[in-house]
Amino acid sequence: MMMNNTVLQAFAIDCTVISSSHLVVEANAKDIFTATTELKEILKSPAVIGQLASLLTVSQFPQVRQYAAILLRRKISKLWNKLDSDSRFRMKQLCLQALTQESIKIVQHSIAEIISVIAKYDLPEGNWNELMILLSEYTKSPDGKLVEIGMHVLKSISSNGGETLKPYLSSLFPLFGACLSNTDNVIISSYALEVMTNIMDYLGPNDIAIIKPFIPKAIDVIKKLLTTDEIRAQEAMEFFDQIAESNINLLNSNLLEVIQFCLQIAQNDQFEDSTRCKALSFISWVTTLKKKSMLRLNLVPTVLEVIFPILSSSASSDDTDMDDDESENSVVTNAGQLIDVFALHLPPETFFSFLFPYIDRYFNSQEPLKVKAALVSIAVVAEGCSEYIRFKLLDRMVMCIGKGIESHHEIVQNAALYALGQFAMYLQPDVNKYAPNILPLLFNHLGNLVKKATANKTFAISRAYYALEQFCEHLDADINPYLQSLLEMLLATLNNTQISFIKELAISALGATVNAAKDAIRPYFQGIVDILKPYIILHVADSGECFDLRLQAIDTLGCLIRCTNEEILGSFAEECVQLGLIPTGIGDGPLSGLIDFEDNGSDDDDDDKYCEVSNAFLAEKEDACNSISEIAKNIGNSFLPYLDESLIEVNKLITSEWENIRKAAVSCLATLCRLLYACHLQFKSGSAPTVFKALENLLNTVIQIIGEDPDRIVVIAALAAAEEIMRDLREDFVNQCPELFPGFIRIVARVLNNGVACQDNSDNGDAEEIDEGIAEYDGLVVEHAGNLLPIIINLVGGENFAPSFGEISSLLVKRNRPSSSVSERSFVIGTLAEMSASMRSAIKPFVKDLYPLFLSSTDDEEDDVCNNAIYGLGLLAQHGDQVMYGNYMAILQALFRAAPKRGNRCRQLLDNICACVSRLIIANDTLVPIDNVFPQVVSNLPLVVDKEENKVVFTSILKLLNAGHAQVFSHMDRLIVIFATVLSDSEVDEDTVTIIHHIVANVRQRFPAEFDKVVATMNASQKAAMLAVFEGKSS
């Protein structure tokens, strides 16, 4: 607190002469300087605590008493335990005396803060019963002013540490009830809410039932506060936030009432935006924790009925960016984010049954604000409901976006462009097929915007470039037909505008284009360099805009260099020197100001500084983790000198309160440990115990994160980290840490049973089970857990996993429900199939349960499910031996029933059918009608999508060849060409090459003339591939 000069001098004099009540009203500068100096000296003395305490009761000046209280609180918080018992006793007596005699409210509040500091030390030890006696008298007094003082002190004590009041809770609960029912003084009621908020974390199971009746009263209190003191009402609303954080089940019986109250606040535009945002934020939070209750109480349509008018209100006509941190307190932004939360946490089928009628009605409105609201809602659901949109609504929604871009209203155009950017980000590659319709619209729209742009109005252009950049970067090779026109448009923008921000957007979009085009950008290399040169050599001292432009140009140039070959890059090196990108001396080049290295002749020192984990280089810890991970991936063994320090520093972030940091930390640790293990495998340096211990510690931490972290993105990152590490592991680690894998099997089972912290278990027991599917992000958690299962089986062996297979498979099958989404059904069948592959012969005891499931799933209307089922049937036949012999004809019938039903729309299905038939032949060709099925297999070769199955198909052909089957010889001409085609594929693996070599060597030896005749008809590439296989290598 800052004092004016008169108060400062008066306080200095009071500190020196406690008995004096003199106040110098007119003070000159010399007096002030003298008083200030004296005050500083006095505050250094240990005796000042007693002097300050005395001032609370003897000074006649309120400013002095208040400032004394502030300084005393600071001193006591540091020195309380160093005071002797007599001094502490006198201090407590003086504080209580000061509280009882003080009449100025602001001073009372400052004294209450001192009391709260002392209470934190002495109340838990039972050393200040006088305080609780006094507070009891005050809070029970008929005098409202005394009750208010007493409750304010309790609020201060609880704010300084809620656990301080834990021994006194039983006596406080009746007080809370009385205060909440106080209709004369709403301030007293608000203090009661604040105390309860602060002690919420310390309530025991028996206290929960006592708090529940207070919830309706809390609503009434906040309603009154909203009419008199909206800021205090916002503080009181923290009561509900704390309930959600500490024990969400407290709201079970009052959830409907609380949500309806929040909606009343949100839709009332007479309240401050911050108040309305707080209400919407609470609904979002509850949705993440009580999604089943939100559905059971039918609250989703009730919320949407409030949200859409907000999205289409006049406030939404402002240039509000849903992703802009500066607009996070906008009611419109919070309304859009609430729809996003619904999309992320509710089953898509159920959510869209509520949402789509609003989208349809608002999009077809004649009011631009309503159309904008519909497009914003389309945009924000793209992430959480991507699969549902992809399968059910993509055509309709892209059509809406296209119409929005063509609208004559800027707010509609901007919303449509935002939606297009979101679709490009989350609906790849499906959205790419709309490029011929979307890109011309986008190019035309951007051209018009740039022509009429002004420096003060760039939001629309920012939206348009966001859409362009997201769409183009994810097109990959599909961008090639538009490459020249896109580059011409960006160049025209750079040449024709003087607005730096637009130039920066265009250069960024150029980088996205380069990333998509990759090798196709090579003909434009020099032209793009020429475009970027003027911005790279800008003088950053001129302005911040120049600095931003140059950094963006350098970043885009980096994208260009990564997409070119060494030959082009080598010829460009000299030009980089001329541009200053490769400094010829320390301090040269545009980046010299960003990283200031000291040249002492040692490269190691430079590396030490560059790799140091320090916030001096990276403002965000998340960025630091990501940067370390990228550096380690790219420089490999050269990172080893910094590995220990990096592991230590990054490991500290695993428990960060911010989920994005925890996510980045666990991913970074996985990268570092993989590097450590790779070096161990490469060098075998005797460091195995240390390496194994680091891996074991990380994997145990991952198990803990999966089970306990409340955020799904962190758990997904942990599961992905475990998958990456386990794919690298070898038998040596498995033998040294065998106890680790049962832990992973148990945690995967918990995930499959919805038993980890990030899954919604809060509603269990308070309502009947709602079986309406799961949110897509919840499905991702389960899918990532399922991905671990075949890897674990490969590591521990099928026989060792067999005792757990029954439990795991039953948990998976439970997820194959009628309400399950396509991805969920596909996941279940696909995971069971992959597990069967890893189990090998150990799968036999489980064939009787898996076979009917796979067979029935071949009739699933969705291709992905059918594909996985056919793959599973083939594996059961391959590893089931006699157990499966009786099922061959049923399998073949299912295979050849599935193909015609789906036509030619699913090439992967045909590949899987060929592989499944081949597995039947490998297992027992005598049970397969070769004359009927082999010609159909050959007619669909070579495989197009599942090329890794070529080795299975060719193994079956080799078996038939060795058995002398006539069908092989009758199709040999066709087969030799197929082999040559496969061999000429640059992606063919060595196992496949070896099998082909065995076949063609056999044929060439037995039928040389016929073989040479077929080879003579081949093109040059096929001939070269066939020749190479006989020379013992692949082309």
pLDDT tens digit string along 589-639? Answer: 333 333 333 334 444 444 444 333 344 333 467 888 888 888 888 788 888
Give the residue-averaged pLDDT of 782-804.
96
pLDDT above 60 for 854:
yes
Give the residue-averaged pLDDT of 74-95.
87
For residue 390, the number of C-alpha atoms closer than 13 Å in the C-beta half-sphere is 20
Give the residue-averaged pLDDT of 37-46.
70
Task: Give the amino acid at 126.
Answer: G
Q: Which residues of 333-343 are buried (b: 16+ CB within 10 A; e: fewer)?
A: bbbbbbbbbbb
Q: What is the pLDDT of residue 607?
A: 44
Extract the tokens encoding 926: 């005598």
Q: What is the pLDDT of residue 621?
A: 78
Q: Report which DSSP code applies to 925.
A: G
pLDDT above 50 for 800:
yes
The model's confidence at residue 474, banded by pLDDT at 50, 70 and 90, is: confident
Q: What is the pLDDT of residue 738?
A: 85
Query: Using CA atoms, how far apart are residues 777 and 343, in angstroms rounded to an integer?
Result: 9
pLDDT above 90 for 793:
yes
> Which candidate, 723, 883, 698, places its Cα nearest to that of 790?
723
Identity of the highest mean pLDDT range in 585-589, 674-678, 705-709: 705-709
Q: What is the pLDDT of residue 599?
A: 38
Q: What is the pLDDT of residue 63?
A: 87
Q: What percent of the chain has pLDDT over 90?
A: 49
DSSP-assigned beta bridge partners for residue 457: 454
Higher pLDDT, 541 or 870: 870
Express each pLDDT in 632-687 by its tens digit.
Answer: 887 888 888 888 888 998 999 999 888 989 999 999 999 999 999 998 888 776 67
Q: Is 532 exposed, middle or buried (0-12, 13-18, 19+ CB in 10 A)?
A: buried
The model's confidence at residue 259, banded by pLDDT at 50, 70 and 90, is: very high
Q: Which residues of 549-563 are buried (b: 16+ CB within 10 A; e: fewer)?
A: bbbbbbebbebbbeb
**Longest CA pairwise span in the chain (Å):** 124
Q: What is the pLDDT of residue 685?
A: 67
Higher pLDDT, 225 or 630: 225
Q: What is the pLDDT of residue 699?
A: 94
Query: Using CA atoms, how far apart are residues 466 and 478, in angstroms rounded to an integer?
Result: 19
Query: Using CA atoms, how far apart are residues 978 and 968, in angstroms rounded to an integer?
Result: 13
Q: What is the pLDDT of residue 221?
A: 96
Residue that is written with structure tokens 């696909």 in the block:
830
Express each pLDDT in 814-833 by its tens digit.
Answer: 999 877 888 899 999 999 99
Helices (H), 212-272: 214-228, 230-246, 255-266
Q: What percent of the chain has pLDDT over 70?
A: 86
pLDDT above 80 for 556:
yes
> Which candidate, 112, 117, 187, places its Cα nearest to that of 154?
112
Average pLDDT, the chain: 85
pLDDT above 50 for 2:
no
Q: Is 73 exposed, middle or buried (0-12, 13-18, 19+ CB in 10 A)?
A: buried
pLDDT above 80 for 966:
yes
DSSP-assigned beta bridge partners for residue 767: 764
> Which candidate, 572, 474, 484, 570, places its Cα nearest to that of 523?
484
Torsion of CA 721, 724, 730, 732, to 10 degrees: -10
Express each pLDDT in 111-165 by its tens digit.
Answer: 999 999 999 988 888 888 899 999 999 999 999 999 999 999 999 999 988 888 8
How far apart are the two ends of the chain, measured CA to CA in Å?
A: 79
Give the residue-averaged pLDDT of 462-470.
88
Express each pLDDT in 972-1015 by its tens digit.
Answer: 999 999 999 999 888 888 899 999 999 988 888 888 888 888 88
Query: Using CA atoms, how far apart are residues 845 and 836, in angstroms rounded to an integer?
Result: 11
pLDDT above 90 for 233:
yes
Q: Please answer whether residues 78 and 71 qualify as being in contact, where contact means their C-beta atoms are separated by less than 8 angstroms.
A: no
Instruction: Please report which helix (H) or strand (E) contains residue 938, including its range.
Output: helix 930-939
Q: What is the pLDDT of residue 817?
A: 83
Annotate 742-758 with three-state secondary structure: HHHHHHHHHHHCCCCCC
The mean-pLDDT minimum among 136-145, 278-287, 686-695, 774-783 falls in: 686-695
Torsion of CA 313, 319, 325, 326, to 10 degrees: -90
Higher pLDDT, 99 or 45: 99
Give the residue-averaged pLDDT of 532-557.
73
Q: What is the pLDDT of residue 248?
A: 86
Q: Which residues of 124-155 are buried (b: 16+ CB within 10 A; e: fewer)?
A: eeebbeebbebbeebbeeeeeebbbbbbbbbb
Q: Please answer whether residues 72 and 52 qualify as being in contact, where contact means their C-beta atoms are separated by less than 8 angstroms.
A: yes
The backbone torsions φ and ψ at residue 767, rounded to the nearest 5 degrees and listed phi first, read -165, 160
